[in-house]
A = this chain, B = another copy of it.
Amino acid sequence: MAVIFPSRRVRKTPFSQGVEAAGVQGYTVYNHMLLPTFFKGVADDAEHLKKHVQVWDVSCERQVQIKGPDALKLMKLISPRDMDKMAADQCYYVPAVDQAGGMLNDPVSIKLADDHYWLSVADGDLWQYALGIAVGRGLDVEIDEPDVSPLAVQGPKADELMARVFGEIVREIKFFRYKRLPFQGQELIVARSGWSKQGGFEIYVEGSEYGMPLWDALFAAGEDLNVRAGCPNNIERIESGLLSFGSDMRRDNTPYECGLGKFCNSPDDYIGKQALREQAENGPKRQIRPLVIDGEIGACTGSWSLLANGQQVGQVASAVYSPEFEVNVAIGMVDRTHWNPGTRIEIETEHGMRLAEVQDRFWR
């Protein structure tokens, strides 16, 4: 595979210096920004993540800032989720949809004030959609990307490491809630969240100049905890059933197909509500399922078709060998006809035909 270089368009992050010094070996690009994909190796990184604590440069979770008198009004237009129930310190997972109910993104939203929201977006310029809606409807809001770069601290020792840097108070932060905590005189939002199931936090680093000082503080405080630089891990996240927008689901999928129907509970007339009505009542015709694939599978660099009697009944875009569970774990979008646990389906990998079996649940 070929190398990649940053530019102003494919941006470095406030933590790039630390990431490079830690020996990053792979990058991807996410929201026009570099995102590390592995350091020692995906399997080695996964094993370490499950035992110790890692610091992840997830600056690429860019924030769409929606601010102004009509901020809540706009949020209610683009969010199927009931925004009135959102607590002041809450992180809200919001599957944003278009007028046809198709997924545009699956951000985590944070309410900074009644007229001020951040959407921590998956890969895609959701701000352009929000801006289009705002301009089209003549809403009084400003939409931009603030200088905020999330840094994740993940793993079983994350509480201990974070307590050493931000104080014992971090232990009181509940899941998908946040506190504003000082670091070098700047108040940062610290949330208990992150794209693993190993526990941990995301620090919304507001002000690039705090990036490397915070990175260095975490590594200095965590030496005896065996802290390492890490990144979203493709083995751990598939085992955990964490969906990647753009891979596991896209605009041609609804939230119901992604198993996110419970987040479509807004009483307001959000965009796409009518289109989703039928699925809200009867369920989707296909849905995300965990799968095990037999044999050796190699890398999944695109989309693999699930086939039954020569007909496509779904596809897989995330698949990898799990050393912990000693099987090939995979995430698929599977037609209703074949989604029951135990169903065996042919799968056309880029390395040949294999057999896959639908599982009853993800591995954690």
Contact = CB atoms under 8 A, between A and B. Distances in A.
Interface of A: 1-12, 24-29, 32, 36-37, 98-99, 104, 123-137, 244-248, 271, 299-303, 317
Given A98-B135, A135-B98, A135-B99, A8 B129 contact: no
Contact of A28 (B5, B137, B248, B303): B5
Residue of A24, A124, A301 contacting most chain B CB atoms (<10 Å): A301
Contacts of A136: 132-137
A138 to B, nearest CB: 8
A236 B239 CA distance: 46
Contacts of A129: 125, 128-129, 131-132
Q: Is the interface of A mostly helix, strand, loop or mixed?
A: loop
A28 B2 CA distance: 9
Given A2-B26, A24-B2, A8 B123 contact: no
Nearest to A11: B302
A303 B8 contact: yes
Minimum-distance CB pairs A-B, first 3: A136-B136, A132-B132, A9-B246
Contacts of A37: 2, 4-5
Copies of this chain present in the complex amount to 2
Contacts of A99: 135
A129 to B, nearest CB: 4
Residue of A131, A300, A303 contacting most chain B CB atoms (<10 Å): A131
Nearest to A24: B2
Given A32-B123, A125-B124, A128-B125, A4 B1 contact: yes
A98 B131 contact: yes
Given A2-B25, A9-B245, 6 more contacts: A2-B4, A2-B36, A2-B37, A9-B123, A32-B246, A132-B135
A128 to B, nearest CB: 4
Contacts of A248: 8
A83 B104 CA distance: 29
A299 B129 CA distance: 34
A329 to B, nearest CB: 16
A328 to B, nearest CB: 16
Nearest to A143: B98
B7 A300 contact: yes
Given A124-B125, A129-B128, A7 B302 contact: yes
Residue of A6, A104, A128, A246 contacting most chain B CB atoms (<10 Å): A128
A67 to B, nearest CB: 15
6 contacts: A7-B28, A7-B247, A7-B302, A125-B129, A132-B133, A133-B136
A24 B2 CA distance: 7
Given A28-B29, A135-B136, A8 B124 contact: no
A271 B99 CA distance: 22
A49 to B, nearest CB: 19
A5 B301 contact: yes
Contacts of A271: 135
Contacts of A135: 98-99, 132-133, 136, 271
